[in-house]
Chain A
Amino acid sequence: MTLPSKLTDFSLAEARDAVQAKKVSSKELTTAFVKAVADARPLNAFVTETPEKALEMAVASDVRIAHGNARPLEGLPLAIKDLFCTKGVKTTAGSKILGNFVPPYESTVSQNLWDAGAVMLGKTNMDEFAMGSSNETSHFGPVFNPWRARNSNANLVPGGSSGGSAAAVAGNLCLAATGTDTGGSIRQPAAVTGTVGIKPTYGRCSRFGIVAFASSLDQAGPMTRTVRDAALLLKHMASVDPKDSTSVDIPVPDYEATLEDGVKGLRVGIPKEYRIDNMPPEIEQLWQKGIEWLKAQGAQIVDVSLPHTKYALPTYYIVAPAEASSNLARYDGVRYGHRAAGAKDIVDLYERSRAEGFGKEVQRRILIGTYVLSSGYYDAYYSRAQKLRTLILRDFTEAYKTCDVLLTPATPGPAFGVGEKTADPVEMYLNDVFTVTVNLAGLPGIAVPAGLTANGLPLGLQLIGKAFDEATLFKAARAIEIAAGFTAKPTEWWRAA
C-alpha cells in the first residue's frame, strides 16, 4: 500500500500502521495536524486548540513506541467535540453559560481514548448544548463546511450539532474526531461533509462526563474519513462503565477484523416510509444506487415497513426538549459558569444568568420541554411520546424479522447555506427526519459518503442495524464505501482566506 504524500492526508488506520511501524513519529504527525488546525481557523472548527498538550502527548507516545509499549491508538492526533469534559481543558458545550468552565474530571470516552494512546489536538465547535443541525447555534459562531458548491464562494454549514468535528475530519485537520448524536448530530454532519459517522447502540459508549442534552437519546460515536477508521475508533471509545447506569455490559468486538467480510447473503431492508414527500431526485437516485451496490455484492434486498416513522420527528421534539429542560436546570449561575452581575435576589439571578447565558434555540427547547412536562399537559405530550417510542421500536423489531440492516438516505439534502434555514426552526428540524428514529429506538446507525450532487456537494447513505450489531453495520458500510469509490476532497480554500 502506498501512503499519501502529506501526513494530514493519512487515514487513522494508515497513520496507526505507520506510527506503529516507526515510519512516522507521533511528533511529526502531530506537528502537521497542529499546523493544519492553525491554518484552518477561517473554518472556526475548533473552540479551543491545545497544541502544547498535543505535542507533549505526542512526545510521550514516541517514548512508548521507542520502548515497544505502543498502545492501539498510540500517538494519533484526534479532535474532541466540546461536549466531552476534558480534565484541565476548558469545556463549553458551545454555550456562553458554561463561561470558562474547566472540568476537574475527564469523560469516560475521552479517557478511554487517552488510555489507548491517542493525542488531543483540541475541542471542536458545536451547536449550543448539541441543539441544532447546522452548527449555527454555537455561542462561538458558525463553523463553515470545508466543501463549497462548484463555482461558488458561498459558505455552507457543516451540519450539526457535531459540525466542528465533521469539518475538522473533512478538512484533514485531525485523523478523526469524536461526536455525539441525540437526533442525528453525528450522521447528518458526516453526510454533508463527505465523512463517515456512526451513532452506536444506546449504552455502547458511556455518557459519563459528556454534557447531557437528552439523556435517553445521547450517544457518543466516531467521525472519520473511512469506515475502517470508524471501526477502529469505536472499538476504543466504547466500554461498559460503572459510572453510567445506562451503559451496557456487552463485549466490544474487534470491528476491524470482520470489516472486509462482505455482504453476501445479508438481508437489506428498504423501509418504504422513508420515501418522503418532496424528496429531491438526487437523494432518491442515490438511495437507488446504494440498493444496487449492495445487491451487486450479494446482498438480498427486502421491502419492509416502519409504519410509525411519521411520528418520529414530533415524538423526538417532545422527548428531547423535555429531558433537556431538566438537564439544563443545573446551569443556574450559582456554582460555576456564567453569572449575571448585580442580581437583586436569587430569582433575578436565575432569570438573568440563564437569559444571558443561553442562546435562542436552547431557550426555545427549554420552553418546549417545560411546557410538555407541565401538569395538565404531561399526558397529552410526554406520556404519548413515550408510547410512540415503544411503537417505533416495535416497528424495527418487526422489520428485523425479515432483514439484518436497513438502508435509507442520511439527510434530505446536501449542505445548505449559512443563514439559509435559521429563520424557521421547523425547517431546520426537518434535517433530522431520517436520523431521529434511530435514536428513539436506541439502535446503531451509520452515515457513509456515497456520492456528490450535480453541484459537487457530498451526500451520504444511512445504514441502521440491530442493537449492539455495529459489526454488521461496518461490513455493509464498507461495501458501500467500496462501490461508491468516494475519493473527492474539498479544495482547501481556507488556506487562501
Chain B
Amino acid sequence: MTERTAKLLKGQTGDWEIVIGMEVHAQILSQSKLFSGAATAFGASPNSQVSFIDAGMPGMLPVINKWCVEQAVRTGLGLKAQINLTSVFDRKNYFYPDLPQGYQISQYKSPIVGEGEILLDMNDGSTIPVGIERLHMEQDAGKSLHDQSPDSSFVDLNRSGVALMEIVSKPHMRSSEEAAAFLKKLRAILRYLGTCDGNMDEGSMRADVNVSVCRAGGYEKFRATGDFKHLGTRCEIKNVNSMRFVAQAVEYEARRQVDLIEEGGTIVQETRLFDSKVGETRSMRSKEDAHDYRYFPDPDLLPLVLEQSWVDGIAASLPELPDAKKTRLIAAGLSPYDASVLVAEKESADYFEAMMAAGVEAKAAANWLNNEYFGRLNKAGLAIADGPVSAAANAAIVRMVAANTISGKIAKDLLDILWSEGGDPEAIVEARGLKQVTAANPEKVEEVKAKPKLASWFVGQVMKASGGKANPGAVNAILKQKLNLPD
C-alpha cells in the first residue's frame, strides 16, 4: 500500500481522483513466430514472412515455440511474478480478414504468469509500487490495408502469428505521470531482460489504458477492500503508442469523464480510440457491441507444462534489473535521482558502467554524462548507440579532470574535439598542449611546494600562455589555492 497522496482533479461538484490500469502488448524478441517457423523481421515486404500455419491453410497445426515460452517466463521473473507451471492456450474466436484462422490463440483462464509487481520511479525520486495482474502469451493478427486501392482492401500477414506478451497491471496508477512512468519502467525491464525491443514506433510495444474516475477517497476504499464498486466505470483506450500519448490520453479521458458525470451523464463501459492528432479519445464500440469470443481451450495444443528446474535455470540467468542496479549505484555514491536517470535506459546504464569499469569514480561519471554528454546527444537527436564518443573516451576525459591534468573548461573543449573529429583524448591533450600548466610541469610543482617563493615561475608561465592578458595578482591567488601554498 502506498502512502502517496492522490493527485486530485477539480470538478464543479468537488474533487475527483483518477484510477488507471494498463494492458501492454509486448512483442517477444524472437527469430520465429509463436506457433510457426516463419520469420518476424520488421519492415519486410508484405506477405513475405508467412507460413501455411500463419495463413490458416486447411490441416495446418500450431506448434509452440519454446524460445518464446522462455522469454515469457523470463519476463514474468523480471516482474517478480508467479510462474504458473501449467498454463493453457485458448482460442478467441472472431471473424476478420487479417485473422486467417478465424480465431486468435491466446491464454484466457490459465495464463503462464500470475501476479507480480513493478516499482515506478517518479521524477521527485520517490518510487510507487504497481501490481501486475498477469502476463499471457498470444499470437498477433495480420494487418489490413485499406488505402492501397479504391475498391479493395489488402491483407499483410507478416505479423500474423507473431508472439506477443500481454502484460496486465492492476488499477494501481493514479495520474497521467504514473501511467507514463509505468510504461517507461516496464519498457526498461523488458529491454534489460532482452525479451522485447520496446520499440513503440514499430509497434513492438502497444498500450491499452483503462481509465476511470471516482470521488476522492474511493481509491483507498478500493485498496482496503478490493471491491471494485468504490471505483468508477472504466473506459479502455486502445493502442496508445508513446509515453507522451499515454499521459495526454489519460488527462483528456479523465476530464471527459468528470465533465460528463457532473453534467448528469453516466459513463458507459466502452472501448475508445485515442486520436493523437487532436489529443482526444472517441468511442469505438460499447460493451453491448462487444464480440462474444467463445473462448475454449485450443484442442490442437496440449496444456503447457513447465519443469520447476527449467524455470529455476532461467531465474539464475536473469541479468541485473533496473531496481537492483539503481540500489547498487546509490551505494556507489550516486543520488537516487541520478541513479534513476541512468538506469532508466539500458543503454545509458551500460554506458555509465563501461565508464566505471574504465576506472572513473561513479559520481564524477554520472555528473559528466548527465550534464555534458547526454545533453549533447539529446540536442543532436542521437541515441546512445549512435553517439560519436565512446565510453572509454569519456572515461579518459573524466579521469584527466580528476587528476587535474585538464581543467573542467578544457574537458568540455576536448569533448567538442572528440565529438567532431574523434581520436584518442590523451593524445589530443598532449599534442595540442591542453594540459593544465601545473600538470605539464609536475617537477616544478614539487619544487614550489618545497619553496613557495618559486611560485612566481608559474605566474610567469601563465602570463606567457595568456599573452599577457592575465591579472598577475589573480593568477598568484589561484596558484596558491590550487597548490595549497600558505598565504
Tell which of A84, A101, A208, A328 touches B61, judged by Cβ atoms closer than 8 Å.
Answer: A208
Chain B residue with minimal CB distance to A351? B95
Chain A residue with minimal CB distance to B291? A375
Tell which of A103, A210, A211, A246 touches B302, judged by Cβ atoms closer than 8 Å.
Answer: A246
B292 at the interface (CB under 8 A from A): yes
B63 and A245 contact, CB distance less than 8 A: yes
Among the stretches A111-119, A141-149, A305-313, A329-337, the one at the interface with B is: A329-337
The residues in B between 291 and 312 inclusive whose CB is less than 8 angstroms from any CB of A are: 292, 294-296, 299-302
B200 at the interface (CB under 8 A from A): no
Q: How far is the CB of B273 from chain A (nearest CB, A)?
A: 20
A410 at the interface (CB under 8 A from B): no
The residues in A between 215 and 244 inclusive whose CB is less than 8 angstroms from any CB of B are: 215-216, 242-244
Q: How far is the CB of B55 from chain A (nearest CB, A)?
A: 6
Tell which of B60, B95, B101 touches A350, judged by Cβ atoms closer than 8 Å.
Answer: B95
The residues in B between 50 and 102 inclusive whose CB is less than 8 angstroms from any CB of A are: 52, 55-64, 91, 93, 95, 97, 100-102
The residues in A between 95 and 126 inclusive whose CB is less than 8 angstroms from any CB of B are: 98, 101, 103-105, 107
A210 and B59 contact, CB distance less than 8 A: yes
Could you tell me the distance between the alpha carbons of A443 and B102 in the complex, rounded to whole angstroms?
30
B274 at the interface (CB under 8 A from A): no
Instruction: Give the chain B neighbours of A209 by CB distance below 8 A.
Output: 59-60
B463 at the interface (CB under 8 A from A): no
Instruction: Give the chain B neighbours of A210 by CB distance below 8 A.
Output: 59
A382 and B296 contact, CB distance less than 8 A: yes
B103 at the interface (CB under 8 A from A): yes
Q: How far is the CB of A86 from chain B (nearest CB, A)?
A: 10
Q: How far is the CB of A317 from chain B (nearest CB, A)?
A: 16
A93 at the interface (CB under 8 A from B): yes
B216 at the interface (CB under 8 A from A): no
Chain B residue with minimal CB distance to A242? B63
**Known contacts A215-B299, A243-B63, A373-B294; A98 and B58 CB within 8 A of each other:** yes
A244 and B61 contact, CB distance less than 8 A: yes
B155 at the interface (CB under 8 A from A): yes
Interface residue count on the B side (C-beta < 8 Å): 29
B155 and A334 contact, CB distance less than 8 A: yes
Chain A residue with minimal CB distance to B294? A373
Q: How far is the CB of B290 from chain A (nearest CB, A)?
A: 10
Question: Interface readout for A365-402 with B: 1 if CB under 8 Å, 0 if not?
Answer: 00000100111001000100000000000000000000
Question: Interface readout for B99-117 with A: 1 if CB under 8 Å, 0 if not?
Answer: 0111100000000000000
Chain B residue with minimal CB distance to A210? B59
Could you tell me the distance between the alpha carbons of A373 and B294 in the complex, rounded to whole angstroms?
5
**Known contacts A245-B302, A329-B101, A330-B102; A335 and B56 CB within 8 A of each other:** yes
Q: How far is the CB of B477 from chain A (nearest CB, A)?
A: 82
**Known contacts A98-B58, A323-B299, A374-B294; A334 and B97 CB within 8 A of each other:** yes
Tell which of B58, B93, B300 touches A215, judged by Cβ atoms closer than 8 Å.
Answer: B300
Q: How far is the CB of B289 from chain A (nearest CB, A)?
A: 14
A85 at the interface (CB under 8 A from B): yes
A20 at the interface (CB under 8 A from B): no
A326 and B63 contact, CB distance less than 8 A: no
B58 and A373 contact, CB distance less than 8 A: no
Instruction: Give the chain A neighbours of B56 by CB distance below 8 A.
Output: 330, 335
Tell which of A208, A211, A326 touches B93, judged by Cβ atoms closer than 8 Å.
Answer: A326
A374 and B292 contact, CB distance less than 8 A: yes
A245 and B296 contact, CB distance less than 8 A: no
A326 and B296 contact, CB distance less than 8 A: yes
A207 at the interface (CB under 8 A from B): yes
Could you tell me the distance between the alpha carbons of A101 and B57 in the complex, rounded to whole angstroms?
10
Question: Interface readout for A187-210 with B: 1 if CB under 8 Å, 0 if not?
Answer: 000000000000000000001111
Chain B residue with minimal CB distance to A215? B299
Could you tell me the distance between the alpha carbons of A317 and B58 in the complex, rounded to whole angstroms?
23
B300 and A246 contact, CB distance less than 8 A: yes
A101 and B52 contact, CB distance less than 8 A: no
Instruction: Give the chain A neighbours of B64 by CB distance below 8 A.
Output: 245
Size bin of chain A's contact surface = 35 or more
Instruction: Give the chain B neighbours of A325 by CB distance below 8 A.
Output: 93, 294
A216 and B59 contact, CB distance less than 8 A: no
Instruction: Give the chain B neighbours of A375 by CB distance below 8 A.
Output: 292, 294
Q: How far is the CB of B383 from chain A (nearest CB, A)?
A: 40
Could you tell me the distance between the alpha carbons of A461 and B301 in the complex, rounded to whole angstroms?
33
Instruction: Give the chain B neighbours of A11 by CB distance below 8 A.
Output: none
Could you tell me the distance between the alpha carbons of A410 and B409 in the complex, rounded to whole angstroms?
96
A322 at the interface (CB under 8 A from B): yes
A103 and B57 contact, CB distance less than 8 A: yes
A103 and B91 contact, CB distance less than 8 A: no
A91 at the interface (CB under 8 A from B): yes
Q: How far is the CB of B455 from chain A (nearest CB, A)?
A: 83
Instruction: Give the chain A neighbours of B57 by CB distance below 8 A.
Output: 103, 105, 330, 336
Instruction: Give the chain A neighbours of B52 by CB distance below 8 A.
Output: 104-105
B294 and A212 contact, CB distance less than 8 A: no
Q: How far is the CB of B59 from chain A (nearest CB, A)?
A: 4
Q: How far is the CB of A58 from chain B (nearest CB, A)?
A: 27
**Known contacts A85-B59, A211-B58, A329-B95; A322 and B296 CB within 8 A of each other:** yes
Question: Interface readout for B423-456 with A: 1 if CB under 8 Å, 0 if not?
Answer: 0000000000000000000000000000000000
Instruction: Give the chain A neighbours of B100 by CB distance below 8 A.
Output: 330, 334-335
**Known contacts A326-B91, A326-B93, A373-B296; A243 and B58 CB within 8 A of each other:** no
Q: How far is the CB of B142 from chain A (nearest CB, A)?
A: 11
Instruction: Give the chain B neighbours of A373 by CB distance below 8 A.
Output: 93, 294-296
A330 and B58 contact, CB distance less than 8 A: yes
Tell which of A93, A101, A215, A335 touches B55, judged by Cβ atoms closer than 8 Å.
Answer: A335
A346 at the interface (CB under 8 A from B): yes
Could you tell me the distance between the alpha carbons of A242 and B60 in the complex, rounded to whole angstroms?
12
Could you tell me the distance between the alpha carbons of A242 and B57 in the complex, rounded to whole angstroms?
18
Q: How far is the CB of B175 from chain A (nearest CB, A)?
A: 35
Instruction: Give the chain B neighbours of A215 by CB distance below 8 A.
Output: 299-300
B102 and A211 contact, CB distance less than 8 A: no
Could you tell me the distance between the alpha carbons of A373 and B102 in the complex, rounded to whole angstroms?
15
Could you tell me the distance between the alpha carbons of A98 and B59 in the complex, rounded to whole angstroms?
12
Q: How far is the CB of A111 from chain B (nearest CB, A)?
A: 12
Chain A residue with minimal CB distance to B298? A215
Could you tell me the distance between the alpha carbons of A110 and B295 in the complex, rounded to whole angstroms?
32
Q: How far is the CB of A153 from chain B (nearest CB, A)?
A: 38
Question: Interface readout for B35-46 with A: 1 if CB under 8 Å, 0 if not?
Answer: 000000000000
Chain B residue with minimal CB distance to A247? B61
Q: How far is the CB of B304 from chain A (nearest CB, A)?
A: 10
**Known contacts A332-B95, A334-B97; A378 and B296 CB within 8 A of each other:** yes
Could you tell me the distance between the alpha carbons of A373 and B94 in the complex, rounded to whole angstroms?
12
Q: How far is the CB of B144 from chain A (nearest CB, A)?
A: 9
**Known contacts A332-B95, A373-B93; A245 and B58 CB within 8 A of each other:** no
Chain A residue with minimal CB distance to B97? A334
Q: How far is the CB of A240 from chain B (nearest CB, A)?
A: 13
Q: How far is the CB of A168 from chain B (nearest CB, A)?
A: 21
Could you tell me the distance between the alpha carbons of A246 and B64 in the complex, rounded to whole angstroms?
12
Could you tell me the distance between the alpha carbons of A272 and B386 in the complex, rounded to whole angstroms?
79
The residues in B between 171 and 226 inclusive whose CB is less than 8 angstroms from any CB of A are: none
Chain B residue with minimal CB distance to A319? B299
Could you tell me the distance between the alpha carbons of A382 and B294 in the complex, rounded to whole angstroms?
11
Instruction: Give the chain B neighbours of A370 by CB distance below 8 A.
Output: 294
Instruction: Give the chain A neighbours of B155 by CB distance below 8 A.
Output: 334
Tell which of A98, A104, A245, A322 touches B300, judged by Cβ atoms closer than 8 Å.
Answer: A245
Could you tell me the distance between the alpha carbons of A214 and B296 in the complex, rounded to whole angstroms?
13
Tell which of A101, A242, A350 touches B58, judged by Cβ atoms closer than 8 Å.
Answer: A101
18 contacts between A and B (CB under 8 A): A85-B58, A91-B58, A98-B58, A104-B52, A214-B299, A243-B61, A243-B63, A244-B61, A325-B294, A326-B91, A329-B93, A329-B103, A330-B100, A330-B102, A334-B100, A346-B97, A370-B294, A378-B294
The 6 closest A-B pairs by CB, nearest first: A329-B102, A216-B299, A215-B299, A373-B294, A330-B56, A209-B59
* Given contact pairs A207-B59, A329-B102, a sample of 10 additional A-B residue pairs in the complex whose CB atoms are under 8 Å apart: A103-B59, A216-B299, A244-B61, A246-B300, A322-B296, A326-B296, A332-B97, A335-B55, A373-B296, A382-B296
